[in-house]
Amino acid sequence: METVFTPWQSLGGGALIGIASVLLMLVLGRIMGATGILAGVLSPVSLGDWSWRVAVLAGMISGPAALWLLSGEMPVVQVPSSWPMLVLGGVLVGVGVTFGSGCTSGHGVCGMARLSRRSFAATGTFMVATALTVYLVRHGFGG
């Protein structure tokens, strides 16, 4: 399984995520944690709370359309896993997000920027679990 590293695209994407996180905190005083934003859309506290969350999700989803408008090509997405593995991965991420009180965007981007010790611990746990999972999938389970 080949991994394609795109340093400039990764740097640009990371910078955009950082800018969006700072702007959301500056303008609304909210943390840009993707799962928390989605949870708030599904069970809103108020119309104002729901509307900014929908706007952020729409921005996340509309990225490929914006790329298509700018370049004339849709991004190619290749997923080297089966549907059962994707579903299992999604369930595991959902469980982890619930027990970890947040996701990589909330803890890794916003929490660490705020020097939250809990976020440093959570992000370290995410990274160790990710490295272990990649190693096991690629070398332990015949990847």
pLDDT tens figures, 117-128? 999 998 998 889
What is the residue whose two structure tokens read 């298509």? 68
What's the Cα-to-Cα distance from 110 to each of 34, 57, 131, rounded to whole Å? 11, 17, 22
Instruction: Please report which confidence band the pLDDT of residue 137 belongs to, taking 50, 70 and 90 as the band edges.
Output: confident
pLDDT tens figures, 79-135? 777 888 889 888 888 888 888 788 887 888 888 888 999 999 989 988 898 899 888
The share of the chain scoring above pLDDT 70, in percent, equals: 97
Q: What is the pTM of this model?
A: 0.73
Instruction: Please report which confidence band the pLDDT of residue 143 belongs to, taking 50, 70 and 90 as the band edges.
Output: low
User: Quick check: 11 pLDDT over 90?
Assistant: yes
- For residues 36 and 39, give the distance between their C-alpha atoms in angstroms, rounded to a whole number: 5
Instruction: Please report which confidence band the pLDDT of residue 41 belongs to, taking 50, 70 and 90 as the band edges.
Output: very high
* Mean pLDDT of the chain, nearest integer: 86
